[in-house]
Every structure is written in C-alpha cells, then in structure tokens.
C-alpha cells in the first residue's frame, strides 16, 4: 500500500510538471524611440525621411474623401507572462505598447501622434532582449 501511495504521488507530481510552466514573451514590431519621434517636424519631414527613420510602416490608411492624405501606422507590442498548465493559470503579466501615427499630405508630414502604454519600461525590455539574444 505504501509503494502504491508513493507511486501515485510521483505520477501526480510528474503529471503536474509535464503540463508545463513557462515564462513566455511575445514581441511584435520594432521599438519606436521617442528620440526618433522628436525628429519629425510637421510641414517639413518627408515620406522618405519617415521610412528612413522608422522603416516600412506596420500598415497604411488612405481616406477616400481626402485625396493625397495617407496615414502611416507604426506599432510595437511586448507581452510577458507566466504560464502554468493548459491555460489554467496566467499571472505576472507585463505589457508595453507603442503607437505612432504619421499623417502625410502629398508626401509631407502634416501631423503625428505617439503614445505609450504599459506596466514595464522600454529600457527594461531592450535590456532583457540583449541578455536573451
């Protein structure tokens, strides 16, 4: 009986371990640094300069009612979380998002907006990324 109890305990523990426990990271896009956003000058910066600084946009949007106006959308998303078992428990979420929209008319920036949200800093993300890579 004691051997059966030990065997079942080991089997139960092994089952728990095999269900998985992992720290997962999900990174989408490239970081958008505020120093690069500071280089954008409405009425002066060109489309080619934007692409040179930030690369190709995540997406573009054209307004059919306003010919010649296009919005370049840049996005960066980072999510880190602790995952136990089969989606049973997810905790310790860390998220960070950057959003840059650049509105251009005939190839010249007319406006732009940059926002960040999250509970972790970009500096910490980049530091962790360097140690992981």
Tokens of 127: 């530091």
Write out pLDDT tens, residues 83-98: 665 554 555 577 889 9
DSSP state of 41: -
Alpha helices in the chain (DSSP H): 2-19, 34-37, 47-54, 122-132
Portion of the chain with pLDDT greater than 70, in percent: 67
Q: Where are the chain's structural domains?
A: 19-132
Label residue 19 by pLDDT band (50, 70, 90).
Answer: low
Cα separation, 116 vs 118, in Å, equals: 7
Residue 18 has pLDDT above 60, yes or no: no
Write out pLDDT tens, residues 101-129: 999 999 999 999 999 988 777 667 666 65
């Amino acid at each position: 009986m004691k051997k059966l109890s030990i065997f079942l305990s080991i089997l139960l523990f092994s089952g728990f371990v095999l269900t998985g426990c992992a720290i997962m990271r999900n990174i989408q896009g490239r970081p958008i640094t505020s120093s690069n956003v500071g280089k954008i000058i409405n009425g002066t910066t060109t489309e080619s300069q934007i692409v040179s600084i930030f690369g190709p946009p995540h997406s573009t949007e054209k307004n059919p009612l306003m010919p010649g106006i296009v919005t370049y959308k840049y996005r960066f998303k980072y999510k880190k979380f602790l995952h136990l078992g089969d989606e049973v428990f997810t905790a310790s979420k860390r998220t960070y998002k950057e959003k840059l929209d650049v509105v251009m008319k005939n190839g010249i920036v007319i406006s732009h907006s940059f926002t960040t949200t999250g509970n972790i800093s970009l500096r910490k993300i980049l530091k962790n990324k360097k140690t992981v890579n």
